[in-house]
Amino acid sequence: MGMPNGSRKRATRRGICFDYNWRMTSFTHLFEPLRIRGCTLNNRIMSSGHDTTLPVDGTVNAELVAYQEARARGGVGLIVLQVSGVHETARYTNHVLMATDDSSIAGYRSVAEAVHRHGTVLFGQLFHPGREIAEADGGLLSVAYAPSSVPNERFHVMPRPLKRAMIEAIVHGYGDAARRMQAAGLDGVEIVHHLVAVISLTLCAIASMLTSSEAQWEGLQHEDA
C-alpha cells in the first residue's frame, strides 16, 4: 500500500525501525488451506487457547459462545478453546471449563455449532494443573495434587502427592473428556503439556521426587496412559 507523493510510513520503537509499506512476502501461504488429520482449515490463522474468564460454573455459557463465534465470523481458520479440566482436582480457578461429566457436552456442542457456521475448525484443550492451583470458589485455596509434595512458588501451594487410584482416575479423565468433546462435535483436542501441567511435573526432576521404580508402581509410565 502506497503513501501520498511516494512517501513511506515508518515507525521507530525501542530503536528498531519498522517499514509498514514492506510487503509481507514471508506470509505467502497464510490464506491457503491446511490439512490436519481429518480437518481442513480454510487458512493458517489460529486463535490459540487462552483463558477468557467468561465461564462462571465450569460450563460453556452464552458469553463464551459469542466470544468465539466473533473470531470465527472474522475468518479465523482454527480456534482452540481455553483449557478444560479432566478431573475434579483440575479446578485451578473459579472460571475454568470442566469436561468431567456428560452434562458438559451440550455447552461444547453450542460453541462447536456456532463456529462451524462460519467454516472454522474447533479444538479443545485437555488439562490438569497439578500443583498450579490459583483459587477456588469463595476465594479459598483448593487442595492441589502433584507427583510429589514439592511446593509451588507461584501460588505458594504445597500439593499432596498423587496416589495410584487418583492417577488412574486422571488418566481415564483425559480419555473421557476427549470422548465428550468428540460427541459434542469438536474437531480435535490438544493435551496441555507445559511446565506446570501434571504430565510435565511427573517428568520434572525439580517437581517430582519419584524414583524410576516408584514411578512405575504409581502407574506413571507412558504405557499405562
- pLDDT tens figures, 84-130: 999 998 888 888 999 999 999 999 999 999 999 999 999 999 999 88
- d(CA 116, CA 110) in angstroms, rounded, equals 10
pLDDT band at 219 (very low <50, low <70, confident <90, very high): very low
Q: Which residue has the cell 479440566?
A: 85
Asked whether 120 and 79 are in contact (CB, 8 A), the reply is yes
Fold of domain 27-224: TIM Barrel (3.20.20)
pLDDT band at 33 (very low <50, low <70, confident <90, very high): very high
Paired with 40 in beta bridges are 35
Asked if residue 191 has pLDDT above 60, the reply is yes
Instruction: Choose among 157, 166, 160: nearest CA to 148.
Output: 160
The b/e string for 44-76 (b: 16+ C-beta within 10 A; e otherwise) is ebbbebeeeebbeebbbbeebbebbbebbeeeb
Task: Provide the whole-model pTM.
Answer: 0.76
Please state, rounded to an integer, the average pLDDT across all residues of the chain.
80
Asked if residue 8 has pLDDT above 60, the reply is no
Asked if residue 49 has pLDDT above 80, the reply is yes
Within 8 A by CB and 6+ apart from 97, the residues are: 55, 58, 59, 60, 81, 82, 83, 84, 85, 104
Q: Is 137 exposed, middle or buried (0-12, 13-18, 19+ CB in 10 A)?
A: exposed
Instruction: Choose among 130, 118, 115: nearest CA to 195.
Output: 130
Instruction: Give the dihedral sign, CA 205/89/112/72.
Output: negative
